[in-house]
Homo-oligomer: A and B are copies of this chain.
Amino acid sequence: MLRIGLLGAGRIGIVHAAAITAHRDSALVAISDAFAENAEKLASQYGVATATSDDILQDPNIDAVVIATPTDTHSDLIEAATAAGKAVFCEKPVDLSLDRARACLNATKDSGQPVMVGFNRRFDPNFGHLKAALDAGEIGKSELLAITSFDPAPPPIEYIKVSGGLFRDMMIHDFDMANFIMGALPQTIMATGSAIVDPAIGDAGDVDTAVATLTYADGRIAVIKNSRRAAFGYDQRIEVLGAKGMLQAQNVLENTVVKSTADGVIGAKPTYFFLERYMPAYKAEWSAFVDAATGKADIPVSLQDGVNALAMAEAATRSLATGAPVRLSDLD
């Protein structure tokens, strides 16, 4: 039984608490949150203790921690937790600063502790099925990847301001997905974007609609489309063209009912947002972490993966600012 301390009892911490307690090989032991009320409410629901994060990190009865705190605490907590001998599951992104994330990677790489980064979409069963079919050669070698990732509605401007920008906050998921699907890092990233959904997002120095094009050493290309708003819900699709065909992972719909009337043939919308769409992924992600933390499997999404995606977000942010492509190697 893997005993877990949960750091952070916000929206995503709540998701993890449910996954931890539902898994037969993990147990939730203690919860911390900067807002004591959050920690107490969640702890009460599961009948576990509240604690400070320091207490959790020092508790010899705790085997692993889940870091679901604000981003600017991630690197410090990863370092402290691995130093304390805990296995670590940390939400994305590792940090908003690529330098800090790289320092964290360096500081922890010799700890021997497994550190997994929460790129939940790798565990979506549909994307997993696509990846397996691609790796099995069902469409031959991949040539051109297209990722569509639209949120249903923009977050509050206050969130935008501290988010690190669309590339580090939103498209970072798609960068990781590109790494997952392509099995390699791109050489260059060219990004463009604008604040067309809401000018206030532009006033805050960010974009809400963006396209990034990634080129690979072997000639492959990937293109990622992001929008902060899709009136019909959360649009999460992947399409890979290969030498022998194409694979597409389409949206998960709310239901299978189709209504035909004089107005047309009307089907259900995609499931609304990430909690609805990716709930099975969160469960599978947690299961993968338990397997890794208990030595049954390798870490499926490493801290290096987290740093890689962040580097790509950094490159895209620079490309947007300069209007020119950025080589990943230029960030070294």
A139 contacts chain B at the CB level, 8 A cutoff? yes
Point out the residues of chain B lying under 8 angstroms from A232, CB to CB. Answer: 245-246, 260-262, 264-265
Cβ contact of A129, chosen from B213, B255, B260, cutoff 8 A:
B255
| B126 and A257 within 8 A (CB) | yes
A146 contacts chain B at the CB level, 8 A cutoff? yes
Report the bound CA distance from A95 to B140 in whole Å: 37
| B256 and A250 within 8 A (CB) | yes
Residues A194 and B220 in contact in the complex (CB < 8 Å), given A255-B126, A255-B129, A256-B249: yes
Chain B residue at minimum C-beta to C-beta distance from A262: B231
Report the bound CA distance from A188 to B190 in whole Å: 13
Copy total for this chain: 4
Interface string of A13-37 (1 = CB under 8 A from B): 0000000000000000000000000
A160 contacts chain B at the CB level, 8 A cutoff? no
Report the bound CA distance from A227 to B247 in whole Å: 15
Point out the residues of chain B lying under 8 angstroms from A220, CB to CB. Answer: 194, 196
Give A139 Cβ to nearest chain B Cβ, in Å.
Answer: 7
Interface string of A191-211 (1 = CB under 8 A from B): 011111100000000000111
Residues A133 and B265 in contact in the complex (CB < 8 Å), given A215-B194, A227-B144: no
Between-chain CB contacts (< 8 Å), 13 pairs: A133-B259, A139-B231, A146-B225, A190-B192, A192-B215, A209-B219, A209-B221, A223-B225, A230-B260, A231-B262, A247-B259, A253-B265, A266-B266
A11 contacts chain B at the CB level, 8 A cutoff? no
Report the bound CA distance from A256 to B127 in whole Å: 9
Residues A195 and B219 in contact in the complex (CB < 8 Å), given A255-B129, A325-B324: yes
Point out the residues of chain B lying under 8 angstroms from A263, CB to CB. Answer: 266
Report the bound CA distance from A323 to B144 in whole Å: 18
Within 8 A of B (CB), among A129-152: 129-130, 133, 138-140, 143-144, 146, 148, 150
A285 contacts chain B at the CB level, 8 A cutoff? no
Give A130 Cβ to nearest chain B Cβ, in Å.
Answer: 5
Point out the residues of chain B lying under 8 angstroms from A133, CB to CB. Answer: 257, 259
